[in-house]
Structure 1
Amino acid sequence: MSDTPTATPVSFAEFPSVTTAEWLARLSRDLKGQDPATLRWPLPDGFAVEPFYHREALAALGGPPMPLPHPVSPWLNVPALQVPTGDGRPEIDQAAAALANGADGIHFVLADASTFAVHYLAEQLPLARTFVGYTVTEKPDVLLSQLVDAAPGTALRGFLRFAPGPVPEGAELADYRTALRRCVRLTTAMPDFRALAVNGAFFGNRGATITQQIAYTISTATALLAELPDAETTAAEVAGTLHVHVAIAPSYFPEIAKLRALRRLWATLLHGFGLPASLNASLRIHAATASWTMTTLDPHTNLLRHTTEAMSAVLGGADSLSVAPFDALFAEANDFSGRLARNLSVLLREESGLGKVQDPAAGSYYLETLTDQLAQEAWTLFQQTEAAGGLPAVRGKVLDDIKAVTTETFRRIASGQQVIVGTNRFQNAKEQFSFHPKKLLRSSAFDVTRAAYPTEVLRLATAMHFERREKKSKRAAVVLLGTNTNQVIMDTFVQMLLPHERPEIAASHPLGTLSVLYSSPEEATLMYATPEQFQKFARFIYQIPAEKQHFIPPALLSSDMATLHEAVRVFGFQEMKVQGYTTEEVLARLQGR
């Protein structure tokens, strides 16, 4: 039409074009002859990020890739609420208040879906208009049928995530295929509700590299697409109800590229199954700030991490976003931290305008190259995983490979090569905990699958020890620090010593053993034990009969001094040797005393 405004070409003719050779020459001059290659940033994924990128980068990709499609609406702000066993009415009321104050939807994480007040939910949150997500640990089809019954004739909005246990969902299909197929059939006519989740966050929140996260996410989707179709359920119907959950860490640009690479490989996956390309455009990604990178120490730093994580998610193309409260690791849900988490997404959308730009990362020499590299590396790993049998056949190897990465991460944190602000650098030596360390360590809900956990648990345990010593408590305690944490302690301690203070230090303990801290009013001793030794020890202290097979020892065990000291001796715990230093000296130095 004649009155339609036309775009004016952007030109910067007043600035001369600069070639790559000229940029390199300028870099060399500014670096005083040092090779610019020394500025390369090696990623845990096995390749390096260059110090700068130029237009040739896009030529190497075969030209600028097409931008992601512009979303119909900006991402949805979807806070997550933990619902303990019960009817969930208090959490439903919290959800209604959140929706009235900036949230666009709610994600209920249900401890027991069988008792959830579905009809009360439908009364308080009209399900035809409200975006609601549900995470359940069993019988996903039962909850879904209850929702359909509670709002007859209503096309639900939101998603369902079935998380049956501590394994990738796609790796445990045999027992759940019937239930998941029923979920597909119940929601086939609900285009705004996705009943099958591909849980990439499982891998991200256990410390996997970005390449591993993408590859194993695609492997999980492959298992679902291969196993679920039957005479009544087509592959297209399965694909149409899939959505992806991802965890977003603070590494800003790589996380943006992760989501873009995931969308690119999703199209390749669907093509491999002979499914229409239109299904790729309908892929929905639900992003959440990563629990892997959250900290208990100096917890307000989590607000800063969540800011970069949220920006990476929305700039990378997430369709919905959950920002965790900064104190979620140790505090009950509360209005203050919940409001800060909810408003972070509101600020990015309303004040920063991040939802108004189509694929803001498109065309960046750096981000387009990084997206392509991650996609290629992830696809190679995906093919290797499938060639080995795919999920669930290679579940053990997948988890072992992730464990190898996390072990290296713990080493890097201990040595100071990887910084966690407030935890292993720039610590607040006078920090006063807003929680009770003993209660937290005893809590089964305390998340021990985090990068900062080995460092945190040592700090919490030693703080308890010094407090017990000052109060001259008549009891003793054994704190489970984690697997191989003594090596973390050793590495951290050595980094704190001046060169002339570094004698030959004995090896801490055999790999694969558990690290513990024995604490009495008189002394603290770092020890190690096999998992079997600690299991028997914990059963003895808590008088757990042998016939009770499923017993998970708590992280903190306490008893009278005589009983605990004798049990430590009987069950064969070995003292960690730090040549030239007592345990008390090591702990005091680590605590900044």
Structure 2
Amino acid sequence: MTPKNDPLLFAEFPPVSKEAWLEKIANDLKGKPLEKLAWRPAGPLRLSPVYTAEDLDVTANGIDGTPGVYPYRRGNRFHADGPGWQIVQEIPVQTGPQGRSLLRSAQSSDIPAVWVRGQTSETKALEALLSDLDITHTALHLDWPAMPSLLASDLYVAIAQQDGTRPEHLTGTLVNDPLSRSAKTGKTVSDFDLENFRAALDAFGTSPHFRACAADFSYIHEQGGHAVQELAFALSTLVDYLVWLGETEGRDAQEEYLRNLAVTFATGSQFFLEVAKWRAFRVLLAKVLDSMGFTDPDLQSPFLIARTAYRNLSRYDRHTNLLRNTTEAISAVFGGVQAVVVSAYDRVDHAESDTSLRLARNIQHLMKHEAYLDQVQDPAGGSYYVEQLTDQLGEAAWTSFQELEAAGGFRAALASGQIGQLLAEARTAQEQLLAKRRLTQIGVNNYPHPSETLAGDPTADDGRQAVPFEQLRLRADAFAAARGGQRLRAFLLLFGDTRMRNARSQFARNLIGSGGWEVLENSNPQEVEASLQEAIAAKPEAVVLCSADPAYFEQGPELISRLRAALPDIRIILAGKPEGAESLPVDDLIYAGLDAQAYLASLLQSVVPA
């Protein structure tokens, strides 16, 4: 019996039809169209603001299914003792004593697994780091792109043998994915790369608990791709590997690959979309494998690893990264992954320390031991919204996947430049949303901490979405430093209607503060003359008028005239976009939908020429 039909649970609550809900919403909107509330979270997806039980078909696509049963919508494993997941500590430093120290510290904290990432091609660096690994108690997820995967495999196996560890006791994964590496770096995939990929799989032939073919699709999110592309590109990549193995070696090699498969995605900040992404991926992969004749559940259940995204991190207000990492990790757990890697909040500064790594792993300890998230499997299951999102995301990704296959598959799309073009288009669209503050990043384009400064070199474009705003902030910081710490100042002159002046002043404070300006405001908006004198006395670089539209035309002209007479170089800004604003002698209008990034750049240029 489903809960909605339980007479004891819902006897006093008669069912409400979707039509009744829509009627109630229409009344609340007071004539505004419901379409205004529709959300477009990724690519072609368009989501309604309301879903009800009438939108849910519990018999479709495994919604009413069981974890561990095809099509794996609710999880690709059934956990009798709770779902659980593997807590993985990222070890970011690949050479020297610092990396070894961080590794020893992680192991002393009884961490079950480590993710070791490195960039050097020197075998001694990896060998030294792995020599400190307690292989019998700690799983290793190895990501060492600068070294051929076969060489990394041989090193690990050799160290294990020296340590007396039997091959069947090795656990973990090896990032062994030349196609994704090519998409990330732009280097062409060679036959040698594919042969090396296959040979690395053989190196762990007697290690059933070590998955030597970890496909790392985190680059898609990190390069600005959306969830539909993540799923479509991942499916197409996996199909390419299966086709290549089938053509070169046959069915046994394909099955060996699937038994050794692990899949990694970056998990982003759109919580419910990320939950749905993992659920949809399992359904789609099962559908693909089923169509290719791989019906064994063991072949349809790759080990799923989530990594908190680098693209979402910020340098300013960087402790907010802890909150981002937390929600991203929770969404992955709700989505049903087997392992989670939480990066240090200061990874963006390449300054990871024992403290920041401890905070990273403690996020997951709190999730398990305080929030008990390991006690419930598929907690989002049955949610009208999440189930609809799972279906729509899966349908859109399937269409995109079929288009890639019709064009020759992932490798062909990569060689033609199609993959790069699609990612560039998605990134541009996302950057526009951030620039116009349709997509909010706390501490970056909304709710900034403008008095915070950064030390070190200016921010380079490392792919993070916060970089354009950070570069503006750094210019403002440099200007402040050049004049003894005095920041650019904007004075919010509040007057008139209380509700409108407060709303517009809050909007202006967040927007202008995002450019690194110090924001002041008058102490008593009821006293207009005193407020004007207060603004003049502050001698700011800009004054922002904050009131209701009628007051701008009634009191604005005189205020503007007197401000210009007292402060000839002042820049006067109007918060809002009232009809007829062009008749007011102001320099700028700021309003919802404005390209905040471009505006802040022009505002900075007007007072601090480059």
Shorter-chain TM-score tier: 0.7 to 0.9
Aligned to 1:109: 117
Q: Which residue of 2 aligns with 1:79?
A: 89
Counterpart for residue 91 of structure 1? 99
Amino acid of the residue matched to residue 417 of structure 1?
R
Which of the two has higher C-alpha Rg?
Answer: 2
- Aligned-partner Cα distance in 1 for 2:484–2:309: 37
Q: Which moved more, 1:160-169 or 1:301-310?
A: 160-169
Matched residue, 2:389: 370
Partner of 1:140: 149
Letter paired with 1:82: P
Query: Hey, what's the Cα distance between the residues in 2 that align with 1:402 and 1:39?
Result: 27
1:231 to 226, 231, 249: 249
Q: How much has 1:79 moved relative to structure 2? A: 1.8
The separation in 1 between residues aligned to 2:609 and 2:394, in whole angstroms, is 44
1:191 corresponds to 2:189: no
In 2, the alpha carbon distance for the partners of 1:197 and 1:128 equals: 21
Q: Could you tell me whether the CA contact under 8 Å between 1:168 and 1:220 is conserved in 2?
A: no
Number of the residue aligned with 1:264: 283
% identity of equivalent residues = 29
Determine if contact 2:431/2:465 at 8 Å carries over to the other structure.
yes
Q: Secondary structure at the match of 1:190?
A: coil
Which of 292, 299, 313 is equivalent to 1:273? 292
Give the equivalent residue in structure 2 for 1:404: 425
**277 and 13 in structure 1: CA distance in 2 versus 1, 3 angstrom threshold:** farther
Alpha-carbon deviation of 1:131?
A: 0.9
Structure 1: gaps spanning 5 or more residues: 1-7, 472-487, 505-514, 516-525, 527-577, 589-593
Where 1:49 maps in the other structure, the secondary structure is coil
Secondary structure of the residue aligned to 2:174 is: strand
How far the C-alpha of 1:262 sits from its partner, in A, is 0.7
Distance 1:280 1:191 in 2: 13
Tell whether 2:329 aligns with 1:310: yes
Alignment of 1:189-588 (within 5 A): 189-229=206-246, 230-231=248-249, 234-395=253-414, 396-433=417-454, 435-436=455-456, 438=457, 441=459, 448-468=462-482, 497-498=573-574, 500=584, 501=586, 583-585=605-607
2:42 aligns with one of 19, 44, 52: 44
Task: Give 1:236 shift.
Answer: 0.7
| Counterpart contact for 1:201–1:245, Cα < 8 Å | yes
Instruction: Map Cα deviations across residues 342-396 of structure 1 (whole Å, 9 max, x no partner).
Output: 1001101111111111211211111111101101100100111121122222121
Pick closer, same or farther for the CA change 1:462–1:82 going to 2, 3 Å.
same
Give the SS at the match of 2:298. Answer: helix
Q: Distance in 1 between matches of 2:188 and 2:14?
A: 56
Question: What value does the CA root-mean-square deviation take over the aligned residues?
Answer: 3.3
Aligned residues, how many?
483
Between Structure 1 and Structure 2, which shows a larger proportion of helix residues?
2
Structure 2 counterpart of 1:109, one-letter code: R
| Cα distance change on mapping 1:91 and 1:355 into 2, 3 Å | same
What is the rounded CA distance, in whole Å, between the counterparts of 2:368 and 2:400 in structure 1?
35
**Between 113-122 and 10-19, the greater mean CA deviation after superposition:** 113-122
Aligned equivalents of 1:212, 1:118: Cα separation in 2: 33
1:41 maps to a residue whose letter is: W
**Secondary structure of 2:347 counterpart:** coil
Mapped partners of 1:171, 1:17: distance in 2: 58
Contact 1:78 1:107 in 2 (8 A): yes
Q: Which residue of 2 aligns with 1:29?
A: 27
CA displacement 1:168-195 (0-9 Å, x = unmatched): 4897253311111111112233232111
Give the letter for the 2:167 counterpart. T
3-state SS, counterpart of residue 46 of structure 1:
coil
Task: Give me the whole-angstrom Cα distance separating, in 1, the residues matched to 2:31 and 2:262.
Answer: 50
Quote how far apart the aligned CAs of 1:161 are. Answer: 0.9
How far is 1:467 from its partner? Answer: 2.8
Query: CA 1:32–1:462 in 2, change beyond 3 Å: closer, same or farther?
Result: closer
User: What are the Cα deviations for residues 404-460 of structure 1, in whole angstroms up to 9, with x where unaligned?
Assistant: 121122222222222221111211121132x32x2x54xxxx661111111112322
User: 2:304·2:337 contact (CA, 8 Å) conserved in 1?
Assistant: yes
Cα shift at 1:231: 3.1
TM-superposition CA deviations, 1:455-509 (whole Å, max 9, x none): 11232244235434669xxxxxxxxxxxxxxxx99x9999x942554579xxxxx
The reply to whether residue 150 of structure 1 matches residue 159 of structure 2 is yes
Between stretches 156-165 and 316-325, larger displacement belongs to 156-165
Take 2:482 and 2:354, find their aligned partners in 1: how far apart are those partners? 33
Residue aligned with 1:247, SS: strand
Kept after mapping to 1: 8 A contact 2:229/2:400: yes
How far has the Cα of 1:39 moved from its partner? 2.3
Note if 1:127 corresponds to 2:146: no
Q: 1:71 Cα shift?
A: 3.9
CA drift of 1:203 comes to: 0.3
Provide the C-alpha distance between the structure 1 equivalents of 2:106 and 2:156, rounded to a whole number of angstroms: 21
Classify 1:240/1:469 alpha carbon distance in 2 versus 1 (closer, same or farther; 3 Å).
Answer: same
1:92–1:124 Cα contact (<8 Å) kept: yes
Q: What's the TM-score once normalised by structure 2's chain length?
A: 0.72
Check 1:11–1:65 CA distance in 2 against 1; reply closer, same or farther (3 A cut). Answer: same
Indicate if the aligned counterparts of 2:262 and 2:303 stay in contact, CA closer than 8 A: yes
TM-score, scaled to structure 1: 0.74
- Structure 1 residues 116 and 375: CA distance shift in structure 2, 3 A: farther
Q: Secondary structure at the match of 2:607?
A: helix
What is the CA–CA distance in structure 2 between the aligned matches of 1:391 and 1:125, rounded to whole Å?
36
Aligned residue in 2 for 1:167: 183
Q: Which amino acid aligns with 1:455?
A: F
The answer for unaligned runs of 5 or more in structure 2 is: 1-5, 66-73, 486-510, 518-541, 545-572, 578-583, 590-596
